[in-house]
Structure 1
Amino acid sequence: MAEKPISVVPLLSRALHRIRSTPPRIIASPPTQPRRAAVSLIIRVVPAPNAVFPPESANPVTLSEFFELDWVNDPAARPEILFLQRENPAPEDSAMSRMRNTQEAHVAFPGGRMEADDEGGLYTAMRQTWEEIGIDLAEKDYTCIGQLDDREITTSLGKRLLMILSPFVFLQLTPNAPPPDPAVSTTLHWTSLASLVSAHAPPRWSTVAVDAASRLAPKHSTALRLIVQALVGSMEFPAIIVHPSSLPSITLDGKPNIDILEKGILQAAIPHKLKLWGLSLGMTLDLMSYMVLPEPSSLRDNSESLKPHSGSSSPISPMVQLPYQTGAEGIRMDVVAPSLASVFPRFSYPDVNFWIWVFGKRYREVVRGWEASVRGGGTNDRRINWSGSALSTFYAAVRKALVVVIVARALGILFGVAFATWWIFGQ
């Protein structure tokens, strides 16, 4: 007999309660770069086809009451998270969207930049969501669960800060809500959380290749970009292949779903392979870590789980399938900070990765300090921007490695040309 799949609803309940009770790490904008942005992680529970709903109440249910409802706990209920595909990426997406394969598409979360008259990050996330996809998160159908840690959006290999990004988590409290109305260039993809967090159907991991020249050479210097690309190759980021949920052509009351049938709002024909990567993957892994990240006592009691293992999945929990990446000797990034593993690239040339390791002593020290903070305090020391320190030291090692590689390659080319000239004309 096949083993019965484990419901994701208890994991989702655990995550949302922990997010609500955990204060996020807020990163203050430096005076030289005040720009900020905010996005919305919208979660809903799709009821079973034969679900029976309680009478509608004038007051919205609380988070605890929501996860006690029969239709939410039905084994056939399906928790989903909303991703969107922009035909024209926003500026904060374009920094991470220089993909080489035109058959791939990048999915993200609704949101955008903060305006001068916005009241704060939460207001920005709600305003941008309404403007971009037509979902009013201020309605009683939704509740704001809380905020995940702020994230730094950088360019030029971590050297220049573009803006600070604040992710907010929302939950749809009702089984049916007004349909969204996205912009013409935006497609929505509701995706089952079970496809991201499941031991029975683990997510399919892939990579996204990005030209390193796009981070190093000027945009309008084609010749220089080609030279840099030949010298240092490309960067590869981990990615999850997203499979949107199939949607019924009728609504919960049995009537035809005109919005789906005529507009194809939620799942149109998908000509590209959808990939979740970069900042969006990092925020998704932050959410996943609240679901299943073990308590500090289990980290101390199971130190063997922190040692490197073969294979592509994390040994920490059978419910999380993260790419195997180590931040330092004996330390797994999916233990210390799952989301951080998503933004560390590997280069297509092995010697570049070798020199990154050579210059990565300071980075490894930061990661060890972070791991010690997790072990000793139960949670990351909120007074220290561990993720920012890890990113800055990692990319500092990357920049040094690229200088060495480019100089070595240039000297090799010059030596080769000189030797060829001598061989041809000096004989």
Structure 2
Amino acid sequence: MASITSQAASPGLLPESLHEVLADLHQHPYPHVPNPPECRRRASVALILRVRPDYHHWPESSIPEVDDQSASVIQRLDSFFSQSWVKHGDPEVLFIKRASRKGDRWTGHVALPGGKRDPDDADDKATAIREAAEEIGLDLTTNNCIYVANLPERVVTASWGSVPLMVLCPFIFLLTSASSPVLKLQPAEVASTHWVSLRALLSPSLRTIEHVDLSERYSSRGGFLARLLYRSMVGLMQFSAIRLIPTESLQCPSVPGFIPDDSSNKKSLSPLQKWKAWYLSHQADSNDRSRPLLLWGLTLGILADFLDMLPPHNAVKLWKYPTFTPPDMRLIVSLLTYRLRKRNALRVRALGRPNETAVDSQTAALPVTHDESADGDADHDPNEVGIGGMGVGRYYGKDSAKADTHAVGIMLRGYYDRLRVAIYVFIAWRLAAGSIAALYAWKWFRWLRRR
């Protein structure tokens, strides 16, 4: 009998599972999350799906593409997935790589098309539709596009969860055409677009780690020396990531640096300037096409629970907790979060699934009742998620006794609070170890002078 993992790699099974997941999401929409106090910003992204035809089951070009707009969404989904070329096709997701912009928190990141809500937008979904049209020139209101459902809205925070930035609202759209849409990339926003197979996103072999330089946040405070001190002590932060292998990519030729400039100006840099540029380099540069495409952080958080709805239902298990590169720091983080990670893992396993190959209304959303009294989590907001984290939730506020949360949100519950404590412990440990080392070095130096 073929394993579940190998079954998931088969293109023939994914369309059927995707059909069930999309139908379930449409029938069980996620509730609206209002803005937290003193945070007015809202943003939306579009998770755009399509099915790429298989070579041996190519749709006949003589058959016109018909999509009855008067039919319900469920009827349109049933009609689309009943086609032979769709049943044997390969579902894909559209990602963008953001253009490099100074001061942009998400510069050069792999993301979903989207942006902040304007006052003229009728609702959050309208924002996603408008941003897709502006950024990649794709009209999501045409007859060959089905708006399916929303994914959990979440409060995006910074400063380790203490500062709410915005409420992020993801929406799912399905393209029903067998041909690739013509995209028009906005040079100021998008460096490239990439269609990626769901099979690749589900593959354990493409799981990897993204290293992020958090010292960049000190560049506007203490300058180079503050960045150097932080980077030398704490190192880089490691986030779970997926290496993307696109089936189709489109580069924006209007982006500066599309054709590399003469590197003679780099030769004139001094050795110190070259070392500084290398040591404190940006990880995400949209002009560097030699770097692999990595899906991580907030966008991976949006995709994580959605991918876990699909067989083999292991997308959350493949995810790794954020940590740091120094070995002693990693040890401290591991020790301080050990019990929390074990407890949260038990909560996730307690969700259970009656069937590992079918997706229904109970297994798709991975619901679990939020217990504010459990393990001192009364102050935990199930909707908050760090800009590099992956927590997701349904409701904002602490009066959410009936709120549901999701697998990744459960895993991260309380983790960033422990991570903050781990940093303080690590700094104290390094200072103490450095002081002891300096004391012994001074005694050794005095002993040498006496000789």
Per the normalisation by structure 1, the TM-score is: 0.72
Partner of 1:192: 197
Amino acid at match of 1:167: P
**Aligned partners of 1:158 and 1:392 also within 8 Å:** no
**Aligned partners of 1:96 and 1:278 also within 8 Å:** no
> Structure 2 vs 1, CA of residues 58 and 13 (structure 1 numbering), >3 Å: closer, same or farther?
closer
> Structure 2 vs 1, CA of residues 399 and 215 (structure 1 numbering), >3 Å: closer, same or farther?
farther
Name the SS for the 1:143 alignment partner: strand
Partner of 1:295: none
Partner of 2:385: none
How far did 1:28 drift? 3.0
How far did 1:175 drift? 2.5
1:105-184 equivalence runs, <5 A: 106-176=109-179, 179-184=182-187
Match of 1:355 among 302, 325, 332: 332
Match of 1:281 among 290, 297, 300: 300
1:65 and 2:86 aligned: no
1:331-370 equivalence runs, <5 A: 333-334=316-317, 341=319, 344-360=321-337, 361=339, 365=343, 368-369=346-347
Amino acid at match of 1:241: R
**Aligned partners of 2:97 and 2:193 also within 8 Å:** yes
How far did 1:130 drift? 0.9
How far did 1:71 drift? 2.8
* Cα distance in 2, alignment partners of residues 371 and 24 from structure 1: 22
**Aligned partners of 2:45 and 2:170 also within 8 Å:** yes
Partner of 1:290: 309
How far did 1:174 drift? 2.5
* Cα distance in 2, alignment partners of residues 17 and 143 from structure 1: 12
> Structure 2 vs 1, CA of residues 369 and 96 (structure 1 numbering), >3 Å: closer, same or farther?
farther
* Cα distance in 2, alignment partners of residues 407 and 18 from structure 1: 50
Name the SS for the 2:232 alignment partner: helix
1:395 and 2:430 aligned: no
Compute the RMSD of aligned alpha carbons.
3.5
Q: Using the TM superposition, name which of 351-360 and 106-115 deviates more.
A: 351-360
Name the SS for the 2:125 alignment partner: helix
* Cα distance in 2, alignment partners of residues 368 and 244 from structure 1: 35
Match of 1:209 among 208, 211, 214: 211
Amino acid at match of 2:440: F
How far did 1:126 drift? 0.8
**Aligned partners of 1:18 and 1:290 also within 8 Å:** no
**Aligned partners of 1:158 and 1:391 also within 8 Å:** no
* Cα distance in 2, alignment partners of residues 43 and 155 from structure 1: 30
For residues 20-53 of structure 1, what are the alpha-carbon distances to aligned partners after superposition, in whole Å with 9 as ceiling and x for unaligned? 1233254432112222211001011223464226
Name the SS for the 1:245 alignment partner: strand
For residues 230-262 of structure 1, what are the alpha-carbon distances to aligned partners after superposition, in whole Å with 9 as ceiling and x for unaligned? 222221112111111158xxxxxxxxxxxx799
How far did 1:142 drift? 0.8
* Cα distance in 1, alignment partners of residues 413 and 182 from structure 2: 42
Structure 1, unmatched stretches of 5+, are 98-104, 248-259, 293-316, 323-332
How far did 1:271 drift? 3.7
How far did 1:388 drift? 5.6
Q: Using the TM superposition, name which of 175-184 and 107-116 deviates more.
A: 175-184
Name the SS for the 1:131 alignment partner: helix
How far did 1:366 drift? 5.2
How far did 1:212 drift? 3.8
Identity %: 28
> Structure 2 vs 1, CA of residues 14 and 271 (structure 1 numbering), >3 Å: closer, same or farther?
same
> Structure 2 vs 1, CA of residues 262 and 23 (structure 1 numbering), >3 Å: closer, same or farther?
closer
For residues 361-417 of structure 1, what are the alpha-carbon distances to aligned partners after superposition, in whole Å with 9 as ceiling and x for unaligned? 456545544554567986233614566675461111011111011011112222322
> Structure 2 vs 1, CA of residues 398 and 38 (structure 1 numbering), >3 Å: closer, same or farther?
same
Name the SS for the 1:11 alignment partner: helix
**Aligned partners of 2:194 and 2:248 also within 8 Å:** no
Per the normalisation by structure 2, the TM-score is: 0.68
* Cα distance in 2, alignment partners of residues 85 and 21 from structure 1: 32
* Cα distance in 1, alignment partners of residues 328 and 111 from structure 2: 32
**Aligned partners of 1:142 and 1:171 also within 8 Å:** yes
> Structure 2 vs 1, CA of residues 242 and 186 (structure 1 numbering), >3 Å: closer, same or farther?
same
Partner of 2:262: none
* Cα distance in 2, alignment partners of residues 11 and 264 from structure 1: 39
For residues 111-141 of structure 1, what are the alpha-carbon distances to aligned partners after superposition, in whole Å with 9 as ceiling and x for unaligned? 0112233222211111111111111111222
How far did 1:264 drift? 11
* Cα distance in 2, alignment partners of residues 261 and 210 from structure 1: 24
Amino acid at match of 2:241: A
How far did 1:171 drift? 0.1
1:236 and 2:223 aligned: no
Amino acid at match of 1:287: F
Partner of 1:380: 368
* Cα distance in 1, alignment partners of residues 67 and 113 from structure 2: 29
> Structure 2 vs 1, CA of residues 204 and 407 (structure 1 numbering), >3 Å: closer, same or farther?
same
Higher relative contact order (CA 8 A, sep 6+): 2
